[in-house]
């Protein structure tokens, strides 16, 4: 085990990969059969349908979700904690594993870095995991952009050809309204220059249909949402067919099925349905399926991944993106509702660094040195910041799930700071555990692992925040006031117009509510830290995901395409041209 204070993550990963057992050892250890493995080198896919068919009568293991407080821009270490917890459970002799989300190239090459965890709680093989893995995000990107290519081509041909010419080639005029295009392009990097663009600028009539559009980050695609909630390939195909790419001039939806592109989009995504097998640096198995960004997407590992993990492991760890106001809220009211799965415990990850920020500490800026308030003892800032921690604990308790607070320990944390959090948790009647998994791997996570095992034995009763018969605006009001702590919701005219249409049409009655909001604050304003008071949530628009069956209210000015910072990670990534090994990932 290497000291993460002295060695970089990619160096720790490289060392752990030297002793990684062959795939056949994991097949035997997990009780899998050879025909249930789809080979992809050290990261095979698992044939979900075959395995579930064989294990359908096996009881599920314990279901453990990992969430967090409102993070700094550097993150709170949920993936690190998830992997450390799996390692700690392994040290306790438990059959443990998990399912994490595949990282996006956007943050991997930007200021946040990969989602492989860190230190001695890291996912391997790290390079493959961080740079495309078995191609799921690439397949989603291609399938999504194929849909956009089909839409724009159809608009061009309908403009250029009369009905008789279209009929000769078997095309029905869709009469797409250019002012009601719902679709766009996607790419898996952060590129603020593509948030708004005009296409079809060629001089000839065959150079496409001229229109304004944009490019979003790939993992925010509705196709990623569909992959997260689909139950099998048939369900994936059906949902893709129902994606609404535009509306016609009469107000009718134009779907992927109408454009006759749904089958081809599914063909691109046919392999994405099966989770990929990866490992911790201590050689514990961990599945990877679906993608990140709970602020602008569902931000959950998939229902398929969790169903599979609960059959393969006695203790299955899953992770929700960002904090308990965003990722956990979607896990609780969307993912659990759609899957029918009931968690035993939720781990709320907190760092002393972030709690000090929420107590009034200076701004934390990626790529710049931390102010000394975060590396020296400051009990006053810490105690004030714990208001944010207990707000998120309350969110978990509202769901009926047992919370366990995890102090994700940094080597700069002091004993007095740790003891302060412990005592505040004790006063609140909340189970709390210290974990040094980043520095010490599974040994450092033993206290957390035991606390989770104990909490799993206590009764819990999942209860949703709202029933599906509650109208959309009332759902949003409840989420804003109960989960975020807002005084109410303010709807802009466009959002009101859309909400009225969705609420009046029975077709949308059972659509899930998927909020789009900044992850850097409980509010819509990323600069409001701690637990903001006396504020209202502004909703400017509502996105429609017809295939995923989501309605997505957009709060504040959040963008579906993040921007690349001034000191991005790609500046430090390179390849050894002799060995092909990648360095600089973090």
Residues recognised as catalytic:
78, 80, 101, 112, 294, 322, 410, 438
Kindly tell me the burial class for residue 565, based on how many C-beta atoms sit within 10 Å of its own C-beta (0-12, 13-18, 19 or more). middle
DSSP class of residue 242 equals: T
Q: Which residues are within 8 A (CB) of 280 and not within 5 positions of it... i.e. 6 or more apart?
A: 83, 86, 87, 117, 121, 122, 123, 124, 286
Give dist(CA 442, CA 182) in Å, integer: 47
Contact criterion met (CB below 8 Å) for 468 and 510: yes
Give dist(CA 72, CA 14) in Å, integer: 28
Give dist(CA 250, CA 557) in Å, integer: 30
Give dist(CA 119, CA 443) in Å, integer: 13
353-to-67, 389, 414 alpha-carbon distances in Å: 17, 12, 11
Give dist(CA 246, CA 244) in Å, integer: 6
Contact criterion met (CB below 8 Å) for 343 and 493: no
List, edge to edge, every strand of the sheet that includes 550-555: 489-491, 537-545, 550-555, 512-513
Find where tokens 């409980």 sit: 522
The tokens describing 412, both together, are 């700069």
Which residue, among 415, 438, 472, has the nearest Cα to 78 in the 3D structure? Answer: 438
Q: Which residues are within 8 A (CB) of 286 and not within 5 positions of it... i.e. 6 or more apart?
A: 83, 86, 97, 98, 99, 100, 123, 277, 278, 279, 280
The tokens describing 564, both together, are 């690349």
Secondary structure (3-state) at 163: helix
Residues listed for the chain: 586
211 DSSP β-pair partners:
199
- HEC profile for 41-74? CECCEECHHHHHHHHCCCCCCEEEEEEECCCCCC
301-to-179, 230, 335 alpha-carbon distances in Å: 35, 12, 10
- Torsion 540-546-547-551 (CA) sign: positive
The tokens describing 380, both together, are 């006053």
Give dist(CA 13, CA 19) in Å, integer: 11
Secondary structure (3-state) at 178: strand
Q: Which residues are within 8 A (CB) of 119 and not within 5 positions of it... i.e. 6 or more apart?
A: 4, 9, 12, 80, 437, 438, 439, 441
Give dist(CA 84, CA 511) in Å, integer: 36
Give dist(CA 391, CA 478) in Å, integer: 15
């Amino acid at each position: 085990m290497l000291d993460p204070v002295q060695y970089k993550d990619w160096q720790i990963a490289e060392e752990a990969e030297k002793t990684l057992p062959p795939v056949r050892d994991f097949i035997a250890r997990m009780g899998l059969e050879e025909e249930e493995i789809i080979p992809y080198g050290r990261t095979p896919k698992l044939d979900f349908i075959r395995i579930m068919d064989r294990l359908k009568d096996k009881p599920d293991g314990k279901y453990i979700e990992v969430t967090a407080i409102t993070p700094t821009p550097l993150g709170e270490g949920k993936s690190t904690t998830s992997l450390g917890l799996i390692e700690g459970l392994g040290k306790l002799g438990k059959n443990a594993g998990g399912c994490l989300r595949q990282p996006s190239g956007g943050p991997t090459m930007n200021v946040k870095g990969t989602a492989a965890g860190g230190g001695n709680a890291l996912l391997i093989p790290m390079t493959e995991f961080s740079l495309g893995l078995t191609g799921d995000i690439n397949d989603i990107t291609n399938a999504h952009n194929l849909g956009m290519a089909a839409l724009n081509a159809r608009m061009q041909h309908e403009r250029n050809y009369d009905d008789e010419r279209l009929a000769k080639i078997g095309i029905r005029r869709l009469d797409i309204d250019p002012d009601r295009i719902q679709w766009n392009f996607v790419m898996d990097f952060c590129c603020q220059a593509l948030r708004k663009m005009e296409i079809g600028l060629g001089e000839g009539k065959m150079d496409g249909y001229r229109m304004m559009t944009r490019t979003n980050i790939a993992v925010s695609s509705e196709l990623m949402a569909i992959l997260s909630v689909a139950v099998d390939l048939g369900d994936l195909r059906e949902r893709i067919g129902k994606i609404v790419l535009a509306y016609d001039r009469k107000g009718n939806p134009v779907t992927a099925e109408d454009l006759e592109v749904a089958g081809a989009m599914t063909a691109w995504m046919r392999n994405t349905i099966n989770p990929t097998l990866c490992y911790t640096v201590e050689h514990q198995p961990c599945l990877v399926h679906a993608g990140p960004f709970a602020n602008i997407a569902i931000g959950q590992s998939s229902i398929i991944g969790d169903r599979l993990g609960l059959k393969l492991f006695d203790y299955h760890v899953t992770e929700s993106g960002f904090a308990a106001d965003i990722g956990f809220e979607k896990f609780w009211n969307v993912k659990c509702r759609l899957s029918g799965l009931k968690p035993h415990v939720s781990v709320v990850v907190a760092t002393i660094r972030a709690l000090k920020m929420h107590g009034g500490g200076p701004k934390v800026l990626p790529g710049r040195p931390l102010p000394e308030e975060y590396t020296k003892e400051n009990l006053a800032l810490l105690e004030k910041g714990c208001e944010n921690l207990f707000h998120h604990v309350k969110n978990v308790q509202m769901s009926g799930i047992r919370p366990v607070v995890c102090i994700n320990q940094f080597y700069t944390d002091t004993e007095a700071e740790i003891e302060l959090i412990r005592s505040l948790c004790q006063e609140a009647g909340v189970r709390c555990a210290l974990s040094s998994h980043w520095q010490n791997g599974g040994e450092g996570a033993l206290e957390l692992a035991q606390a989770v095992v104990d909490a799993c034995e206590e009764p819990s009763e999942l209860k949703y925040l709202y029933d599906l018969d509650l109208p959309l605006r009332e759902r949003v009001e409840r989420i804003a006031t109960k989960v975020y702590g807002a005084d109410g919701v303010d709807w802009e005219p466009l959002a009101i117009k859309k909400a009225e249409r969705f609420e009046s049409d029975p077709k949308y009655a059972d659509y899930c509510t998927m909020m789009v909001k900044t992850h850097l604050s409980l509010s819509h304003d990323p600069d409001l830290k701690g637990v903001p008071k006396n504020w209202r949530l502004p909703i400017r628009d509502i996105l429609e995901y017809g295939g995923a069956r989501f309605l997505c209210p957009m709060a504040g000015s959040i963008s579906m395409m993040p921007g690349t910072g001034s000191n991005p990670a790609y500046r430090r990534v390179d390849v050894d041209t002799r060995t092909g090994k990648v360095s600089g990932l973090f």
